[in-house]
Structures are given as C-alpha cells and as structure tokens.
Structure 1
C-alpha cells in the first residue's frame, strides 16, 4: 500500500466530508418558508414575530447566504457546532458525551456478529448441504426477517422478565461498575448482532464456496498441503474481501440504526438527543448529529478500503 494511494483516498474522503457538510447546510435553506418560523411553530399556530426575529438573529439567518455558509464551515473546522435551541447546551459536548456509548454498542455487536457469523459461514461452506448448513440457512433467514425492535423486546421478556438473568436496560459507566456495565451491554449488543451475524454468515459462506472452486485451491491440494493450511491461508484470505466490504457497510448503517435498540434498552447513546432534537426542532443538534454520523461513515469506508489493500495489494496499484 503506497503513500500516494493512501493520500488520494484521504483527499477523496475530505472532499466527501465537505460535500456532506454543504448538503446539510443547504437543506435548511431548501425548506419552504422561514426556517425560524418552522422551528417555533407549534400546533399549527403562528409564532411570536419577536421570537422569530430573535431566533433568526441567533441562527444568523439575516446575513447573506454565502456569509452564513462561510461561518458554518469555519465553525465545523473549529469544532463549534453551536448550542442546542432547547437547553442552550453546546452540541459538541453533547455528542462527545453520547457518541462513545453508541460506538461501544456498535463495536460490541459487530464483534459478536463476527465471532458467530464468519466461523459459521466457513463451517457451512466446508460442509455444504449438511445438517448444519441447512439449519443455519433457515436460522439466518429468520433473523433477517425479524425487526430489531422485536428481537430486543423478546430478549427483555426472556432474559430479564422471565429468567431474570440480565437487567432489562439502563446504563452504568464501566469505571463505576465493570460487571454491571457488561451485563447492561450484553442484550443490546445481541440485538444489534443478530442481523449482521446473519449477513456475515451468508456472505462468508458464498465467498468461501466461490474461492473453493478456483484452480489454485485444487493445485494446493494436489501439492499435498494440509487441509487447514489450504482453508485458512489460501481460501479464507481470498474470501475475506467481500466479507470486509459488507461488514464496513453495515457498521456504517448501524451508526444510524441503533436508535431503536438504544430506545428499547434505555441505553443513553446518540438516540436520546437525536429524538429529542427532531421532536423539538432543534436544528443545531440535528445538524451536528447528522454531520458526525456522516463523517464516521466516511471514515469507516476509508478503513475498509485500507483493509482491502492490505488483504490484496493489487488494489492499491489499480
């Protein structure tokens, strides 16, 4: 992987981040009507003109569009995303508090999905048509069909209400009580992992079957290489590229898809300020969260491309 290739990918990621920030900024001004009036309108009644004028001044809507855009970009570069319109709390501080909890939940769910889905996909491919392969295919189809909030509710009913093995929900910092923190993390991580594990299983199985059919595998076997070496050195390495792609894409979508899981298990991540901001029409908070999720999605995609280049050096020279 050359420095030139990596620099080119970084430039593309920075350009896309600027493009996302521009689209988010313009979305406010593309809404029909006065944004300040829309933010203050409740129950179909007209807001107080003085309150509208005050909000327009606070948001800088009185200035020319190009001046607003320049101030917006300068604030983003400084890390200043403004203050919440609901409680006047800095948006960046709220995101800094909530984002690590959401990322922890996504990381735990993704790790669990990898530990279950990838080995199961490898085993199913090596025993194609067997009992495990058929049973796992049915189970993954069921997991993909059931919505995540239904799985979350069933987990609470089974493990918290019936068996009383796990707490129903909540949050305790790891520094305060590590054991309780891990207990509270387990059920939401399982709820997140169920769909990703099913996708990883199917993708790993398909990629392994495709790799097993190549000539280099038959050549390696003909040379007398041990079956384990053929599978894990030659087959699995080549099969991991599409698996990594799917994993990266799904981890990106999980940034916006954990809202229901956090709500069901009362996990205080990004879902709480996002839902509150949407309901309260808190424009700075919504913009800050959308920008954060978008930039993280771009970073995950960049990381996926780097991993691809490490798995297959030919990609960095294409």
Structure 2
C-alpha cells in the first residue's frame, strides 16, 4: 500500500511538472521578439495585414484563451498543425523521430561500451598510471563544448576525404551501410560528453564501494579480484550509474538539437530549431512538451530500476518523500 501511494505521488508530481512546463513554453513562445505575422509577412507589412494573419491563426485572442484551446487539444491527442506547412505536428515528428532516436541510441551505446569500462578501470587503478589517464580523458570530454568539437569535425571531414559522409542522410532501411557512415560522426561527437560523465560517475561509485566492509571481508575470505568486482562491486555501484545514464539519455535527446543542426540531419531537433526561427508556435510547443514528457518518464524509470537493484534505497527514498 505504501508503494502504491508513493507511485501515486510520483505520478501527481509528474503531471504538475508537465503542466508548469506547458504554461512556460506556451508563454515563452509568444514572448519571443518578432511574432509569427512579422516573420511571415516581413518588416514592411501593414498593420491591417498583420492583424488579418493574427486573426486567421487565432493569435488575436488572449494568451489564456489560446492556451486553453491548445491544452484541450493536447489532452485529446492532437498536437496541432504546423503554422508554416499546415501539416500535422504529430506526423512531422513521426517522420523525423527515427533520426533522433538512432542518434540517441548510438550515443547511449557508446556511453555504456566505453564509459562504464573506463570508469571501472580508473577506479581500480586509482593510484596508478591508468587512473591518471582515465581522469584526463573524463575531464577533456566534460570541458569541450559539443558545438566546438562538432564544428571541428565538420570542418576536417568536409575538407578531407576520410571515408565518412557529412551533410547527407540516408535512411537505415534504404542502405544500412550509408546510414552508418552518415550517423557515425554525429553520434561520436554527441557521445563524448556522455562517455566522460558515465566514466566519472562509475569511477566515484566504484571507489565508494571499494571501501565498504563487505569488500574487505571478501578479500579476507580469499575471493579473487575478478569475483569481487563482478559479484560485489558492480552491483552495489550500479544505482548512481543507472540514474546518471537515464539523465544522460535525456541530455542526448536535447544535445541532438545542436548535432542535427551542425550535421544537417533531418531529425526532430533540427525541425524544432527551424520552427523557432519561423515562430511556428505549434511545433515549438509540441517539441518542448514531448521532451519534458520523456525526461519525466526516464526519471520514473530510473527510480524503479534503482529500487530493484537496491531495495534499501527505494524504501528510504519512499520514507523521505512520504
């Protein structure tokens, strides 16, 4: 019963969070300098022409009325239509979603395959040369902004023929090899920060576990280092790593906006960026709201996984929040 009550509170908190996000993004979109009518008609349009465009799209009504109509439509499953193309926003997102999902998945795979082993190795070699190199790699990845590294990669691979494609996109279903050649570089740039954060978090978690009494007891029993790492260290160090990986997933979805724009990928992120420049309110509002939904769901998923990995954390967390 206590668990059910805790999940009910989490669901209520998620709903309230999404409600606040929807209000903020709706107001922020309309407070941006230069409205939709100015962008569509240009700077030399007459006030009568601008008023006519605003009336056609319902922008002459109060923000409260516009928000009420939009929120009612969203609750009914309708994200609206693009004010530029007239196409349903849901259809446009579904068309571009595979690009963003593939880019995010490749970044997550890189974070798991490289970040986790690097973090464990750095922690186990904390006093040696391997630990120093691991900290250096993690620090470099965290400190270099994505747009700087991405711009450098675009310049180098555009200037020299190095076998990978820049500025073109081929769907995976049409040609898997050409698709990977297109997605490899943007995924690599996107994953640098994820690998660094995963490695650093894993290192700290493993170091905290290594000083626990049960590790000393396992060493005293004569257990092999491999057995201690696999049976005791990794499982007990997993909860903070899982939380960070779910947070990184949301970060990768947000970071895909910059990467898609730099590498000219037709994903959801680049579509929303273009919509901001065009003041296409329906697309901007839907994009931010969906990103918030994904972030909230990932946080709830992380809570569930951490509770399974270490029931003590789930119980203590529920008691604190209860």
| TM-score range relative to shorter protein | 0.7 to 0.9
Greater alpha carbon shift after TM alignment, 34-43 vs 171-180: 34-43
For the 8 Å contact 1:153–1:264, the answer to whether it is kept is yes
Aligned with 2:110 (options 112, 124, 127): 112
Mapped partners of 2:183, 2:33: distance in 1: 44
What secondary structure, in the 3-state scheme, does the structure 1 residue paired with 2:75 have? helix
For the 8 Å contact 1:161–1:168, the answer to whether it is kept is no
What secondary structure, in the 3-state scheme, does the structure 2 residue paired with 1:258 have? helix
Look up the match of 2:16: 15
2:263 aligned with 1:265: yes
Structure 1 residues 169 and 113: CA distance shift in structure 2, 3 A? farther
1:30-49 aligned at under 5 Å gives the runs: 31=31, 42-43=42-43, 45=44, 47-49=45-47
For the 8 Å contact 1:40–1:52, the answer to whether it is kept is no
Q: Deviations over 1:188-231 (max 9, x none)?
A: 11111111111111111111111101112112222333322321
Look up the match of 2:223: 225
Aligned with 1:244 (options 216, 236, 242): 242
Greater alpha carbon shift after TM alignment, 74-83 vs 58-67: 58-67
For the 8 Å contact 1:141–1:198, the answer to whether it is kept is yes
Aligned with 2:173 (options 172, 175, 179): 175
Look up the match of 2:303: 305
For the 8 Å contact 1:109–1:190, the answer to whether it is kept is yes
Q: Deviations over 1:234-260 (max 9, x none)?
A: 222221222222222222122222222
Aligned with 1:189 (options 171, 187, 191): 187
TM value normalised by structure 2: 0.87
TM value normalised by structure 1: 0.88
Equivalenced residue count is 315
Structure 1 residues 97 and 22: CA distance shift in structure 2, 3 A? same
Mapped partners of 2:33, 2:250: distance in 1: 33
Structure 1 unpaired stretches of 5+ = none
Deviation at 1:157, TM superposition (A): 5.2
Look up the match of 1:78: 76
Structure 1 residues 32 and 278: CA distance shift in structure 2, 3 A? closer
For the 8 Å contact 2:38–2:50, the answer to whether it is kept is no
What secondary structure, in the 3-state scheme, does the structure 2 residue paired with 1:290 have? helix
Query: What is the root-mean-square deviation of aligned Cα atoms in Å?
Result: 2.6
Greater alpha carbon shift after TM alignment, 51-60 vs 174-183: 51-60
Deviation at 1:129, TM superposition (A): 2.2
Look up the match of 1:209: 207
2:139 aligned with 1:133: no
Mapped partners of 2:262, 2:37: distance in 1: 33
Mapped partners of 1:97, 1:51: distance in 2: 33
2:200 aligned with 1:199: no
Deviation at 1:78, TM superposition (A): 2.0
2:286 aligned with 1:285: no
Mapped partners of 1:170, 1:35: distance in 2: 32
Q: Deviations over 1:43-86 (max 9, x none)?
A: 4x5x4333333333344345565543332211111222222222
What secondary structure, in the 3-state scheme, does the structure 1 residue paired with 2:228 have? helix
Greater alpha carbon shift after TM alignment, 164-173 vs 114-123: 164-173
Deviation at 1:143, TM superposition (A): 2.4
For the 8 Å contact 1:152–1:191, the answer to whether it is kept is yes
Mapped partners of 1:181, 1:257: distance in 2: 20
Structure 2 unpaired stretches of 5+ = none
For the 8 Å contact 2:36–2:278, the answer to whether it is kept is no
